[in-house]
Structure 1
């Protein structure tokens, strides 16, 4: 009955048959229908069934490095806050006071002792406990026998950190994170094992940039998954690592997809190179891989650097893209002698991402066509993108 109710709700927004057409074999499947990119009601449904039900990325740990660092995040209207506690653990809470529902944190900040509500000064420690209730029993009476503080703590969100990426499962109904990430962890164990993961250091000087794009968040994932567009959208990149040097990645059980290259060349400036991962498989030194981990993070793994490119959905036709870059050890990540090389590497990736904007915004504009049926797929070139479409469709239709 619950499944029928779910599909009845969805059927008021779009044609269920169109959504089911996505889950056919790639030769006969259509892509997601237009409403999945243009309809406001659909976006509300998607927020609950994808962003709240799944392991979703809301930031990186390096953005709050110190105890007491707090950063707000708005997930399509749901106010959250990311907190670094005194033991340097990262926690995520609903960004709302338990008293009168006032939003606690408006902008990134560093707090000394407590998270204090600006409305009535109720205060919480960094693990979410309500520790102060000024005048709750009357003027200068700060406690009350009729009120139990431990029943009004902040509401913590289920969260995990992997490779500095902050994942949340707001509805607390997804599989354990270790099970979720294991297929990708296993795939990448030949490149970067758990010990090498600890060597990753965020670049403080040329380690981040943000882009706002006028398109639905899904287009960025679809585009990132495939190398089919390299000759037309990235002609300079295609000269170095062309479409024939790429291979598809389809991670079962359907949690990620993407592409890899067999022609990666380390950036060089003079005699300077970045340090490399120690346990990288020797026969794969030229390999790099570009994974979209569903729903909203794109990752680039190379012999000498790693990036996290995650998506913040803002509206049906607006997305903020966040890029963070990491290197092997502090010398490569922040050493003065490699500063120019980091600058060039960051500029290279920003140029690549800027080139993609014309493609993903063009697809958004095309979805205004009433005759477009979701499109078709190349059975050879579009397999990873079709996998993402199927994942979205199945996430909406089934649980």
Structure 2
């Protein structure tokens, strides 16, 4: 294994697995496998990039650090040459969050400083300038992420955000330095390391910036960021002559399909509204789910009643409504109720011959793939930037696992077509 990734949620793992499998900068990608949790056995010999999907994004720092260090130990056992800590391109993390603690713990274990921290993903509209993260042309703290029900982002300056989370000083490489190219970036990172700065926020506005950052990190034991940070990493290994072997094949599937949406993001709400113009949609009340008035049997019945019509089941509600429910029941109870409903529903549907499944929402995706019991997923074609088609190792089920804010307006119908094998 050349590259080992520790991802803090399931859709984020699919996101960076897609980037590694696709490659960039004129270079092909790597044979990539996504592991659902820390594997119990060794990776296959043809796995060039292994992506471990944890469900640690919302965990307290101590728990997230423990899980991440366990994942690092497994990756080191596979002989991986470079480790990537992957978090969300919108940096979903409160000031008491775990991105800083996990990044520093991995750096301490690997004995490194001057570690890149760059969540930028220009293809999805996430850019970093003067340490501030933008969503399209809007600062993060003025975007819809300011009202995220779990990780409200009230400050777009990631330098301040990371300083609040970190024990060590946080460094910074500004965009004019990044535009100087990979040698300039590498020199800046060395200066940060010499100054005792462990994590270093690095600006990026374009894919070219990400390729330059990746080239500067060709020999770095650790890199952290969003999936965009991996854009140029496969090219480093192709240039060094270390890549051989072939990709494992994604297996499309025909037959029964379902869409389960638990995300409350603005993008997902718009995608549901678009899908509802032509396809059946069942909107569930979270309040009724918590009170036990809606069950997985109801979800399965709706999907099977509308077989062949791309049925969608949604618990997605505007952020203000979700916050009101959290005030009434508690955030953990709201999240666990939705995740449990969809996890059980997906298991029942799979046992009854479901062939294609599209899921919207990182936490929802994590709950579902855990319930389905898959150990790994093979990475297939890209559906949208950051969202690949994947198939279970046994080929029984093809899936699309979408983070809430990702995807085109017609994402759901597009995903079902690609899972079936359409170009």
Calculate the TM-score normalised by the size of structure 2: 0.26
Q: Which protein is richer in strand relative to its size?
A: 1
Calculate the TM-score normalised by the size of structure 1: 0.27
Report which of the two structures shows the higher radius of gyration computed on alpha carbons.
1
Q: Which protein is richer in helix relative to its size?
A: 2
